[in-house]
Chain A
């Protein structure tokens, strides 16, 4: 059983650029959630996908978009990067909502 893996682990981008972060869910998990975590804060929910459909969205602007693929892996896309987008981005997968979530190690995004 493989865990949740995220790529890349670190990334530096310039303001205004676009970025794609990737997440491979744990085997058999059909639900994936994405979070943004600033230093000293708890994870802020961006959105969740269940079987390729968006199942919920947090208070993030439309320039944050996502996708879940038939193999349940997922992408988070952020357009027009701003300095405040600098954070740790976490992906978590689970068998279904309301159960234990398994987190990846995150992608540290720095926008300069």
Chain B
């Protein structure tokens, strides 16, 4: 059975801290892994990763895929209160989202 596990489940940090969120997956016919940010209702797209070892970057956020370890990490540097959200991982087919990591950034 396909599975997605995200860790930690929740995280509370102070502004300026760096955080690393993890996503482990076991899915058949894997093609890509996507990260989303959910602030209130609608998740919004962050990254799509298809190749192992190639970092994708957007401002203070970056993400990398490790196909050998069946995992991905999402890094956020110099966190801001606006980064407070639930971060969701989708191993590509939109069928399975992890439970998400709830990030709270304290001023």
Q: Which residues of A contact B (CB under 8 A)?
A: 4, 31, 33, 35, 40-45, 48, 56, 58, 88, 90, 92, 94, 97-106
Bound together, the chains give a CA A102 to CA B45 distance in angstroms of 7
Q: Tell me the minimal C-beta distance from B13 to chain A in angstroms.
A: 19
Determine the chain B residues whose CB is within 8 A of the CB of A33 once the complex forms: 94-95
Other 20 A-B pairs with CB < 8 A, given A97-B93, A103-B44: A33-B94, A35-B97, A41-B99, A41-B100, A42-B97, A42-B99, A44-B97, A45-B97, A56-B93, A58-B95, A88-B41, A97-B92, A100-B45, A101-B36, A103-B41, A103-B42, A103-B43, A104-B42, A105-B41, A106-B42
Which chain A residue shows the least CB distance to B95? A45
In the complex, are the beta carbons of B42 and A90 less than 8 A apart?
Answer: yes
Q: Tell me the minimal C-beta distance from A25 to chain B in angstroms.
A: 13
In the complex, are the beta carbons of A94 and B94 less than 8 A apart?
Answer: yes
Given A98-B31, A100-B34; A45-B94 close (CB under 8 Å) = yes
Determine the chain B residues whose CB is within 8 A of the CB of A99 once the complex forms: 32, 48
Determine the chain B residues whose CB is within 8 A of the CB of A101 once the complex forms: 34, 36, 43, 45, 90, 94
Q: Tell me the minimal C-beta distance from A7 to chain B in angstroms.
A: 14
Pick the contact of A42 from B42, B45, B92, B100 — CB < 8 Å?
Answer: B100
3 nearest interchain CB pairs? A103-B42, A42-B99, A42-B97
Determine the chain A residues whose CB is within 8 A of the CB of B94 once the complex forms: 31, 33, 45, 48, 92, 94, 97, 101
